[in-house]
Amino acid sequence: MLQLDLQLNELQRVIKKSKARRFLLELPEGLKTDALIILHELEKTKKEFVLSIDTTFGACDIYETDLKKADCDAIIHFGHTKFVLQKIKQEVIYWPCYYTFDIEDVKKTVKDIENEFSKKKITIVGPIQYEKFILETIKELKKHKKLDIVLGKNTNRLNSTQILGCDCSSIQTIANKLDAIIYLGDGNFHFNALQTTEAYKYDFNGNFEIIVPIKKPKFNALFLESKVIGIYVSSKLGQNRIKIAEDIADKLKIIKKESVILYGNEINGNRLIGLGINFLINTACPRISDDYKNYYLPVIDYVEFLELYKLYYPKK
C-alpha cells in the first residue's frame, strides 16, 4: 500500500545544519491535519517554528515577504519542489515528501498497465509525491518489453515524470506522439492539466479513467458587453503577473473599457461581491478559471483575453 513518507528524521538533520533560528512552516491543505505532529517532531531540533495558515496550493505560494513579520529567517515548504524561478534572498527548504510502496504495489500496477495498453506507446506522469513509484513502475515495464515507454524530459521546474496543474512541459514534445499518457496520482487537479491529450488516470485498483474535457462556456459576447472589468493579480510570488495585468489594463483602455486591478492572496466569488465589476480576467493560477461556476460573473484567463483581443480588435 502506498504511504506518504514525511521523512521528518531527514528534515531534522537539514534543519540542524541550517543557520536559521526560526522557520515559517508552509503546508499544503492536505497536510494541515498533520501540522501538530510535524511541529512536535521538528521542535526536537531545538529550533523555533511558526505555522503559516495561509493556503499553500503549490510551490508558487512562497510567503517570503511574511518572514520578517513572523520573525522568521527561513521557510520550510512541504509537498512541492522548487517552482519560483525568481531569486529569493532567504533560505527556502523544499520538502516534497514521497510515497513509499511495496514491490507488490509496483507489480500490480505494471500488470494492469500491460493488460490495458499492451503494444502501445505510452508515458507515465504524476505529482512529485509519486515520482519514486512511477520510476520503479517504468523500470519494471521496460524489463517486460510488452509496451513502448517514452520518457519526458527534465525542465527548469519539473522532473521527467512530474507534472503540475499549470505545467506539463516535461512531456510537451512527446505528448502527441503517444497512444496514451498514464497518470499515477490522486485527485483531478494535476490530471486536468493533461487536457487535450489522450490521458488516463489509474485508480490503483485495475481501472483506467479517460480524461474528461472541461467544457468552459464561451464568454465572448459577455466580454464585449462588459462595462467594468476586474483584472486579478495574485500576491503569491509564483503566480504574480502584475506587468501582464498592467498591459491588459492598457489594452482595455484603448478599447474604452473601464478596468480595475484586483490584488490579493486568494480569490473567490464572494470576494468580488459589491465591487461593481461584471467580468474578471485572471492572471494568476490557470486552474482558477476551471471553477468559473463558483463565480457570479464570467471569468477568463489572461491568455484567453489576449486571444479575444486579437480576434475582435486586430488593428488596436
Helix residue spans in 149-225 (DSSP H): 220-225
The answer to whether 96 contacts ligand SF4 (rule: CB under 6 A) is no
The least distance separating ligand SF4 from the CB of residue 189, rounded to whole angstroms, comes to: 7
List 15, 25, 60, 72, residue binding ligand SF4 (CB under 6 A): 60
What percentage of the chain's residues is helix, strand, coil (to nearest 5)?
35, 20, 40
How far apart are the C-alpha atoms of 310 and 316, rounded to whole Å? 8
- Three-state DSSP class for 169? helix
Residue 298 near residue 227, CB atoms below 8 Å = no
The least distance separating ligand SF4 from the CB of residue 165, rounded to whole angstroms, comes to: 3
The least distance separating ligand SF4 from the CB of residue 69, rounded to whole angstroms, comes to: 22
Q: At what angle do helices 103-117 and 131-144 cross, to 10 degrees?
A: 60
Grid coordinates belonging to 294 = 463558483
The least distance separating ligand SF4 from the CB of residue 57, rounded to whole angstroms, comes to: 4
Which range, of 3-11, 136-144, 158-166, 303-311, touches ligand SF4 by CB under 6 A?
158-166
Q: Scan residues 185-244 and list those touching ligand SF4 (CB under 6 A).
A: 238-239
The least distance separating ligand SF4 from the CB of residue 195, rounded to whole angstroms, comes to: 13
List 23, 57, 200, 223, residue binding ligand SF4 (CB under 6 A): 57
Kindly determine how many residues on this chain lie close enough to bind ligand SF4 according to the rule CB under 6 A: 12
The answer to whether 285 contacts ligand SF4 (rule: CB under 6 A) is yes
Q: How many CB atoms lie within 10 A of CB 210?
A: 9
List 101, 117, 134, 287, residue binding ligand SF4 (CB under 6 A): 287
Residue 133 near residue 153, CB atoms below 8 Å = no
Please, which residues have CB within 8 angstroms of residue 315's CB and are 6 or more apart in sequence? none
List 58, 126, 152, 185, residue binding ligand SF4 (CB under 6 A): 58
The least distance separating ligand SF4 from the CB of residue 244, rounded to whole angstroms, comes to: 14
Biggest CA pair distance of the chain? 64
**Residues near ligand SF4 (CB under 6 A):** 57-60, 83, 164-166, 238-239, 285, 287
